[in-house]
């Protein structure tokens, strides 16, 4: 794999950590869609603990997802063989001074052919966004033997911020009206605030192709020793002052709150917990999981003024538990006892021999 040495934008200090944690909870499916191709728009808010070195953060990740976008999609020529021979999907996006393209193929084709197809797809996307002939700075592949897929990854250098370029074909209906102000809040970002997602997905379906778009960002707020309750304001995360109104009944706002997370500090273990104290307005469904409190608003064709979440932070400290040390001490003590006994036996035997002689 080619190592990139291109200068990037000022990435938030904890962006990689927060993004990795976020990705642990949210996988991206690359399988062909079996669902109906009806437009769908969703807002996800994930609240969890982040543990950068020397600090504990309450992380708030807000993500807007649009599926099966009906209009204003990038003018990609999907009749090319590269989009039809074993093709599954392609992701095109970027942040800062770089763009990326990930192309997924069924592993029934040769790696060399998948690389060739991925090159064609990359040129199609770059042409559509008026940035052809960009310098490619990295190219590699991954094979997933479980899903039988090949992933071809490419990265390109761009001379300025890519965010505005990539919004050329952003959704304009429903939640799409939040995107411009959302971007203003998180770009260029600072030490604890910044974009985490900005990409399009072209998905092969049984009836043709489907366009999806995702934009997401993260805010990390340090936990304060004297504060136990925190307010999460959706309008604040969106940088929005308009009513929250979807353009389709296939819409939702999903709030996910991490129940607990353990951190090792010195020789002790600290368990941080989150409890949902209140969510306003009412009218949500409760669909909790083992690790998360989940509240879901659906069919948002009636506007909401805002969504306010109040959470309480708890902390318990557990003393160090070293069962292995207790076992080691026991073994050492046993060895000492045996050695002492053997020493006494040897001394008795020596005295007996001396008396006998």
In order along its 357 residues, the chain shows pLDDT tens digits of 333 333 333 444 444 444 444 454 444 333 434 445 799 999 999 999 999 988 899 999 999 999 999 988 999 999 999 999 999 999 999 988 899 999 999 999 999 999 999 999 999 999 999 988 889 999 999 999 999 999 999 999 988 878 888 999 999 999 999 999 999 999 888 888 999 999 999 999 998 999 999 999 999 999 988 889 999 999 999 999 999 999 988 999 999 999 999 998 888 899 999 999 999 999 999 999 999 999 999 999 889 999 999 999 999 988 765 555 555 555 666 666 566 566 655 555 555 545 544
Residue 265, token pair as written in the block: 């500090």
The predicted pLDDT at position 226 comes to 80
Instruction: Write the CB contacts of 316 (distance below 8 Å, at least 6 apart in sequence).
Output: 270, 271, 273
**Dihedral of the CA atoms 308, 218, 162, 78 (nearest 10)?**
-80
Q: What is the dihedral sign for C-alpha 69, 74, 77, 83?
A: negative
The predicted pLDDT at position 225 comes to 80
The predicted pLDDT at position 198 comes to 96
Q: What is the dihedral sign for C-alpha 22, 118, 166, 67?
A: negative
The predicted pLDDT at position 29 comes to 39
Q: Are 124 and 79 within 8 A, CB to CB?
A: no
The predicted pLDDT at position 94 comes to 94
The predicted pLDDT at position 20 comes to 46
CA distances (Å), 288 to each of 49, 230, 291, in order? 18, 20, 8
pTM for this predicted structure? 0.79
The predicted pLDDT at position 224 comes to 86
The predicted pLDDT at position 168 comes to 92
Parallel, antiparallel, or unpaired for β 268-280 and 260-265?
antiparallel
């Amino acid at each position: 794999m080619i190592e990139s040495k291109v200068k990037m934008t000022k990435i938030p200090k904890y962006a990689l950590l927060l993004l990795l944690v976020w990705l642990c909870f949210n996988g991206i499916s690359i399988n062909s869609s079996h669902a109906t191709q009806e437009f769908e728009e969703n807002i996800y808010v994930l609240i969890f603990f982040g543990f950068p070195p020397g600090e504990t953060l309450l992380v708030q990740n807000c993500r807007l997802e649009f599926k099966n976008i009906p209009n204003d999609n990038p003018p990609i020529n999907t009749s090319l063989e590269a989009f039809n021979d074993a093709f599954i999907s392609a992701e095109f996006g970027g942040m800062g001074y770089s763009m990326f393209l990930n192309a997924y193929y069924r592993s029934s084709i040769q790696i060399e052919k998948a690389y060739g197809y991925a090159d064609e797809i990359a040129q199609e996307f770059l042409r559509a966004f008026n940035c052809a002939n960009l310098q490619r700075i990295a190219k590699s592949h991954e094979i997933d033997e479980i899903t039988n897929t090949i992933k071809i990854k490419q990265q390109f250098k761009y001379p300025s911020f890519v965010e505005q370029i990539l919004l050329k074909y952003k959704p304009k209906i429903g939640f799409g009206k939040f995107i411009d102000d959302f971007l203003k809040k998180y770009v260029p970002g600072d030490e604890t605030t910044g974009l985490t997602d900005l990409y399009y997905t072209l998905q092969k379906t049984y009836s043709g192709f489907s366009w999806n778009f995702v934009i997401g960002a993260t805010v990390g707020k340090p936990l304060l020793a004297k504060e136990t309750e925190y307010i999460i304001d959706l309008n604040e995360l969106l940088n929005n002052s308009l009513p929250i109104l979807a353009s389709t009944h296939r819409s939702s706002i999903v709030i996910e709150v991490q129940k607990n997370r353990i951190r090792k500090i010195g020789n002790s273990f600290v368990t941080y917990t989150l409890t949902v104290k209140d969510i306003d307005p009412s009218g949500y469904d409760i669909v909790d999981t083992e690790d998360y409190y989940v509240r879901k608003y659906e069919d948002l064709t009636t506007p909401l003024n805002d969504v306010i979440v109040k959470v309480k932070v708890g902390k318990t400290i557990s003393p160090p538990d070293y069962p292995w040390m207790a076992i080691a001490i026991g073994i050492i003590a046993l060895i000492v006892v045996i050695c002492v006994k053997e020493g006494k036996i040897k001394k008795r035997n020596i005295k007996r021999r001396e008396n006998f002689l």
